[in-house]
Amino acid sequence: KALLERMGIPTHILPQVVPSGTVLGKLLPSVAEDVGLEGAQVIAPACHDTGSAVAAVPAEGENWCYISSGTWALMGVELAEPVINERSLELNFTNEGGFGGTIRFLKNIMGLWLVQECRRTWARAGEEHSYSELTEMAERAQPFKAFVEPDHISFLHPGDMPARIREFCKQTNQPIPETKGEFVRCALESLALKCRWVLERLEELLGKRLEVIHIVGGGSRNALLCQFTADATHRPVLAGPAEATAIGNIMVQALALGYVNSHAEAREIIRRSFEVTHYEPQHPEAWEDAYERFLKIMAQAETFA
């Protein structure tokens, strides 16, 4: 509001900002009649999709973090107060309002976009594959052949992602993936290793160790990515629910209407109602070596666009 006033933009054109879980009132009669929901209450959920997804994380205790995994991967923690300092600014972490007055302190990471764009490129060439098929190919491919920095600017826009991965590997003097499985494995391993990098910075900013990673959203269905994330971070991963955004939205409504007494109770209901898959870290030495290589690749990636 203060910023708008300084710029001479009237603030009365904006709606009132209310906390998530606020009951706004009943549906307009004309709308209620159209949709068959007479008497239904309208409730403001955690309006961003990630906000609702984080509200649905089936976590217990305090020392956990989440990855809302889809086209993007948003990795962070739920806090009572924002973290605002020069280091958080330097690392490009953000503080976003969450359900129940919490702060979602997180960092955006390029998620399954790399795989999605590879799949679209191959489909345009007449080579259609499901995500399950591509993941199976990746599982059979050579491990740790090459890595990319998922957040490098060259991967940001739609287009021929396999060609961009080839070019990145060429620029960083790595073996170039050849098969579809190698491209997908490169993307998944690199994403898991980038999550390790973000986890370390998150722990640095918080001054404590995070013991468990919860993965929610569509990416939680990718068992290979979840296992790679556990392996790369040396942390157990709890994956699911996949439809966390919808579930979180429902739970915020249930809390607002008094059907559920607390956020902790809502999370317990989610734990008991939806499948959560547990992944334990494996092959620690191999992944530690891979991480050292990945850090060097990240440093090289800063030198070219």
E strand or H helix at 32: helix 29-35
How many CB atoms neighbour CB 16 within 10 A?
A: 6
Cα→Cα distances 145→138, 178, 270, 287, Å: 12, 10, 39, 12
Whether 43 and 23 have beta carbons less than 8 Å apart is answered as: yes
Quote the radius of gyration of the chain (alpha carbons, Å): 21
Per the annotation, the verdict on 49 as an active-site residue is yes
The rounded distance, in Å, linking the Cα atoms of 237 and 227 is 8
Q: Which residue among the candidates 34, 49, 151, 289 is catalytic per the annotation?
A: 49
CA distance 114 to 125: 17
Of 209, 267, 269, nearest to 233 by C-alpha is: 209
- Active-site amino acid positions: 49
